[in-house]
Structure 1
Amino acid sequence: MNVRILLPLLLPCAASAQGFAGLGTASEGFATPERPAIFDFETDHGPHPDYRIEWWYLTANLQDGDGTHYGLQWTLFRTALAPDEGEGWSSPQIWMGHAAVTTPTHHYVTERLARGGIGQAGVTAQPFEAWIDDWQLAGSDFDTLNMTASGPDFAYDMDLTAQGPLIFHGDAGYSVKSADGQASYYYSQPFYEIDGTLTLPDGEVDVTGNAWLDREWSSQPLSENQTGWDWFSLSLDDGKLMGFRLRQENGSHYTSATWITPDGETTAYPDGAFQADPVSFSDVGGRQIPTQWNVTLDARGVDVDVYALNPKSWMATSVPYWEGPIIVEGSHAGVGYLEMTGYE
């Protein structure tokens, strides 16, 4: 999504934070998203230090030559202790990276943490480069990128080429997240073709597939009574669908969705149009996690069941969550990615 994760738990106030991972806490002194959303590219591919929370979030559905499915994640999160850039060790910017590879039988995950201002992590807009330590997502422009990451038991080196336009969610990139009006700026590049090599304990695997990159920034994207979210990105046989439901303390949900045609035209759907209902649960480290869902968007005739490729896709990172590839069956066929937070 998206409203996505997690850096606020690195803040000193995290223990008493409201909302999931502190994303519902007040944000005095920071900028807040406003209508109309106005973007400036290439600048907006880079960081926005006057906002508290930001991420560059890429997921990919892959197959090898035998048709075996894999999933891949590369994410860089930025959070700010104060609304400015700063220099050197005085920079208030904190960075966190997550990388993962999912197979039908294993889920490999690792994490990196860094301070801003000292060159250990950061993002530049033109030429585009996002990095933390030796991980990178970089290219001469945002349409053609190379992506690398490594952990104790995996690595990958992938090339990405965009085959369609950028996509803006909500009201032309102004994405509302609650009935109280919390919002973020949110755009995606869901049209990457991807190919490269996974290095796993059993050896190297050449893979191809499609990838989806989310860009989002805000300062208080959740309301204080929201506890987590379930976010879906689906690549279907006749289009793409992004949908999320934000879970609230009283058991209700706030939803939003974007339908994307193959040529990049979009339709945004308001609260209530998109529905996602758990069908079955898996025990994941003692947690009951919904790993099969029924997803509907009546306006597009979507009524599908989605299944986790690997139900054990738990991200055992500083703030734990579930993230993994999914298979789509029903009125439409396809693949996608599912992220679920707040199930600790």
Structure 2
Amino acid sequence: MRIKVGLPLLGLLLALLLASLSGCDNPEPAEKGFAGLGGEASVFTPVVPGRVFSFPADHGPHDGFRIEWWYVTANLKDEQGREFGVQWTLFRSALKAVSEQPGWGNQTIWLGHAAVTSATAHHAAERYARGGVGQAGVGVAPFNAWIDDWRFSSQGSDALADLQLSARDKAFSYQLRLTSTRPLVLQGDKGFSQKSEQGQASYYYSQPFFQASGALIIDGKTYQVSGPAWLDREWSSQPLTANQTGWDWFSLHLDSGEQVMLYRMRQKDGAPYLTGSWIDAQGQTQLLHADDIILTPQDTANVAGRSMPVHWSIKIPGKHFDVTIKALNPNAWMDLRIPYWEGPVQFSGGTGYLEMTGY
């Protein structure tokens, strides 16, 4: 799931796949809450404040936690100024709170999502894999995340300084190089990213300063593209409550070099849980609370039979930030086994990505 819901947070949706992908394992009883992850998770490792992050180890998988994801989005242009969006996500979901094991006894399910978007087209694809048999995984020396022939891999000794990103399906493919010399960003309170007033949370860090370049193919036509890209990394065991129905997540690249991440966790009852971060051009972060942000849907579009808010007003008065955001392509519906909306957005003074789930 990037609020990805960085989450970016689409990783939460993996719970819906366990019954169909767990093979001969005895599935656990169905849990309550959105995507099954608002329920009891006491057998898994809890997310608590005060974690000390360690790199490059934290770029890799985390035994004991139920879900995690490696999530990349890129806002790209070709030489004629035409705009595109690219998404690449790898999700890891643990069936049991045990260490990784080789072979078919492995208790991990992997899921990959990839998509491309232009002003007139949107294509999405997915891949599934069982852990332990070499079909998918993440390594840290060197960094390499893959599922089938989709890859996000380091080209040097610094794990997240120079990487190749690739995916392909029938209607699209892309091969991009992502580079950055900027520091990683710990989201929330030093990497502890709270998702509800009850304390549900994830560990969450980002690299919002990537620059991407390479080739993108859509419907048989090749484009040479470049632009900013964003990586989100999150892991958790119970990031939502049973009352939370979905989220709206934004990652914004400002022309000033600053970055903004916001998410709104919608609830069945009560006001949404709203938070985010303001990241200056040097990578220093400021946690944003609900009273710092005015996030308002402005207009909707009928997408796949749903009313989707594809036009937003975002105000952060303390930063003198006041923009209206529109989807590059309102029909950026991820028509996958677990459907959701995700695509690039435009605004005066920058560009970004929006993910919306639970509609």
Same structural fold, with TM-score higher than 0.5 when normalized by the shorter chain = yes
Instruction: Please tell me whether residue 68 in structure 1 is matched to residue 82 in structure 2.
Output: yes
1:77 aligns with 2:101: no
Query: What TM-score do you get using the length of structure 2 for normalisation?
Result: 0.92
Question: Deviation digits for residues 16-44 of structure 1, max 9, x if unmatched?
Answer: 44332123122121101122021110000
- Per-residue deviation, 1:14: 9.3
Structure 2: distance between partners of 1:115 and 1:250: 37
Deviation at 1:273, TM superposition (A): 2.2
User: Residues 145-198 of structure 1: CA distance to partner in whole angstroms, max 9, x if unpaired?
Assistant: 001100111100100101311001111000010000001100000000000001
Q: Which residue of 2 aligns with 1:279?
A: 298
Contact 1:145 1:160 in 2 (8 A): yes
The question of whether the paired residues in 2 share the 8 Å contact of 1:18 and 1:225 is answered with no
Q: Spell out the pairing of 1:38-57 with structure 2 (5 A cutoff).
A: 38-57=52-71
Greater share of strand residues, 1 or 2? 1
Secondary structure of 2:330's counterpart equals coil
In the alignment, the residues of structure 2 paired with residue 260 and residue 183 of structure 1 have an alpha-carbon distance, to the nearest angstrom, of 20
- Is the CA contact 2:94–2:108 (under 8 Å) kept in the aligned structure 1? yes
Measure the CA separation in 2 of the matches of 1:180 and 1:163.
Answer: 37
Q: How many residues align?
A: 340
- d(CA) in 1 for partners of 2:136, 2:291: 39
Q: Is the 8 A contact 2:172 2:220 kept in 1?
A: no
- Give the RMSD, CA atoms, in angstroms: 1.3
1:313 counterpart = 2:332: yes
1:162 pairs with 2:180: yes
**2:202 is the counterpart of 1:184:** yes
Name 1:213's counterpart in structure 2.
231
The one-letter code sitting in structure 1 at the alignment partner of 2:214 is G
Is the Cα–Cα contact under 8 Å of residues 171 and 220 in structure 2 kept in the other structure?
Answer: no
1:253 paired residue number: 272
Distance, in Å, in 2 between the alignment partners of 1:272 and 1:117 is: 46
Alignment match, 1:230:
248
Q: State the AA in 2 paired with 1:226.
A: Q
TM-score, normalization: structure 1? Answer: 0.96
CA distance in 1, matches of 2:54, 2:132: 24
Letter in 2 for 1:338: L
Contact kept, 8 Å, 1:189 with 1:213, in 2: the verdict is yes
Could you say what secondary structure the match of 1:11 adopts? helix
Map of 1:29 onto structure 2:
43
Identity %: 48
2:353 corresponds in structure 1 to 337
Alpha-carbon separation, structure 2, partners of 1:87 and 1:129: 18
User: Once the 2 structures are TM-superposed, how far is the Cα of residue 200 of structure 1 from its aligned partner?
Assistant: 1.8
Number of the residue aligned with 1:8: 15
2-structure distance, mates of 1:213, 1:152: 25
Instruction: Identify the residue that residue 263 of structure 1 maps to in structure 2.
Output: 282
**Residue 130 of structure 1: aligned partner:** 145
- Counterpart position of 1:111: 126
Local SS of the residue matching 1:147: strand
> Matches of 2:32 and 2:171 in 1, distance apart?
35
Structure 2 stretches lacking a partner, 5+ long: 20-26
Contact 1:102–1:108 under 8 Å retained in 2: yes
Q: Is the 8 A contact 2:299 2:309 kept in 1?
A: yes
